[in-house]
Amino acid sequence: MTKSNIIQLSKFDITQKIIEALSNVCTRAVLFSIKETSKDANQIAEELNLSLSTVYKTLSNLEELALVEVDQFIISNEGKKIKQYRSRIGKVEITMTNLEPSLNLYPNTSYKSRPN
């Protein structure tokens, strides 16, 4: 199965995908974890007591939906490039009118870069 390009999706499809993603408690926890400061997947997994594979899958989905972004790359002591993720959204409003969902995403204004 090929991944859909956001441009190829209708507005309803994007809204539906975001609403479905945000209905997941794990997804919301990951987003909340990286709202104030950027973190790598290991830090998120430890903080939330989730498996690393769950965190990577969640971050990948959120990146695809443009709800998170890679803030910076950190070079580990072993020379590996480690992605630091941050939430692009600070607030979400979902409303229903005549069975049609309406989604309002507000930018994350509380973000602070994580000290190195």
CA distance 36 to 76: 22
Q: What is the pLDDT of residues 2-11, one digit of tens each?
A: 555 544 555 5
DSSP character at residue 5: P
Q: What is the pLDDT of residues 43-58, one digit of tens each?
A: 999 999 999 999 999 9
pLDDT of residue 18: 92
Cβ atoms within 10 Å of 85's Cβ, excluding its own = 24
pLDDT of residue 76: 79
Indicate the Cα dihedral angle 51, 34, 21, 102, nearest 10°. 170
Reported confidence tier of residue 113, pLDDT bands at 50, 70, 90: low
CA distance 21 to 83: 21
Residue 111: pLDDT above 70?
A: no
Domains along the chain with CATH numbers: 35-116 (1.10.10.10)
Nearest Cα to Cα of residue 55 among 18, 88, 98, 47: 47
Q: Where does 1-116 show beta strands of DSSP type E? A: 68-75, 81-87, 89-97, 100-107
Residue 63: pLDDT above 60?
A: yes
Distance of CA 79 to the CA centre of its chain: 26
Q: What is the pLDDT of residues 66-109, one digit of tens each?
A: 999 998 888 878 888 999 999 999 999 988 888 778 889 999 98
Instruction: Lowest mean pLDDT of 30-34, 63-67, 75-79, 112-116, name the range.
Output: 112-116
